[in-house]
Structure 1
Amino acid sequence: MTTPTPTTAPATPPRLLAAVPALPVSDARRAVAFFEEALGFEELRHAGEGLGILRRDAVELHVWVADGSAPGAERALAGSGSCRIEVVGIEELYRRCRDLGVVHPNAPLQDRWWGTREFGVLDPDNNLIGLYERSPATSADPATVAP
């Protein structure tokens, strides 16, 4: 009796579908309130006082408390994070953040040579959130610009 040779289907490579920034903060409640007010996020859930999960449109954002309770969660990490979020309607979002006084002093709204219009925001712990909109020339093909 012969053993049948297994047939293998062509391998489909794994796909990466999304990235979720996780910013270290000193106070999750304060960070959640900031992202709700400044950027219009909604809190989806929280785990006690140590974690907040927020969403706006297709963007999810996590904040976690760096309180020294475990290795890798040292207090000094709060405020050491950053992320970039692609938006549509950068002008209106900039005005909102400017009026709230949360625009990074060295990152006002500006056109960048790599094809984006962008600005930066600091959360209460000084994590940097870069907000950018692709220029019309690059918005059709994200591969043409390094965000």
Structure 2
Amino acid sequence: MNLLNVIPALPVRDIARAAEFYRDRLGFAVGHMDEGFGIVSRDGVVIHLWAAGDESWRHRPRTPASSPVVTGAETFLAGTASCRIEVIEVDDLYAEMKGAGVLYAADTVIEATPWGTREFPVLDLERNLLTFYERSSG
């Protein structure tokens, strides 16, 4: 037995809008899309998008023992996930993402980390965090 791969699954409120954003702004291809699930990929990296569109939590009675999470697809979960994506030529990808206007903040730069990477963060349409990183040489 071997573990082979890990695929991040990010919660989004609208699969179609999210897939369009990943395609048009982040350069991913849309491999599958239906009402509840989407698959996007770029250069062999795959991300799953799952629908967090349940609004019923807004109308449930609030009691001390109740939990807001019942279905696991509540809309407030959208934008709460993150993933890290290893890349080659992080400077080129940074320039592309800066041009697309998807950096975490306008003043986001590539940062060197104590754990030996150069990286920068991007936010998707829902504000899920994607950190692109390259291992530092040396």
**Fold in common (TM above 0.5):** yes
Q: Which runs of structure 2 are paired with 1:24-63 in the superposition (5 Å)? A: 24-46=11-33, 48-63=34-49
Unaligned stretches of 5+ residues in structure 2:
56-69
Give, in angstroms, the shift of residue 92 of structure 1.
1.0
Query: How high is the TM-score relative to the length of structure 1?
Result: 0.77
Q: Where do 4+ consecutive residues of structure 1 move more than 3 Å?
A: none
Q: Secondary structure of 2:22's partner?
A: helix
CA contact (8 A) 1:116 1:134 kept: yes
Q: Which runs of structure 2 are paired with 1:113-128 in the superposition (5 Å)? A: 113-128=114-129
Matched positions, count: 123
1:129 & 1:17 partners in 2: Cα distance?
21
Larger Rg: 1
Give, in angstroms, the shift of residue 40 of structure 1.
1.8
- Which gives a bigger RCO, structure 1 or 2 (Cα 8 Å, sep 6+)? 2
Report the aligned-residue RMSD.
Answer: 1.6
Task: Deviation per CA, 1:75-94: give whole Å up to 9, x if none.
Answer: 11011110000000111110
1:27 & 1:101 partners in 2: Cα distance?
20
What amino acid is aligned across from residue 83 of structure 2 in structure 1?
Answer: C
1:16 aligns with 2:3: yes
Unaligned stretches of 5+ residues in structure 1:
1-13, 138-147
Percent identical residues: 45
Query: How high is the TM-score relative to the length of structure 2?
Result: 0.82
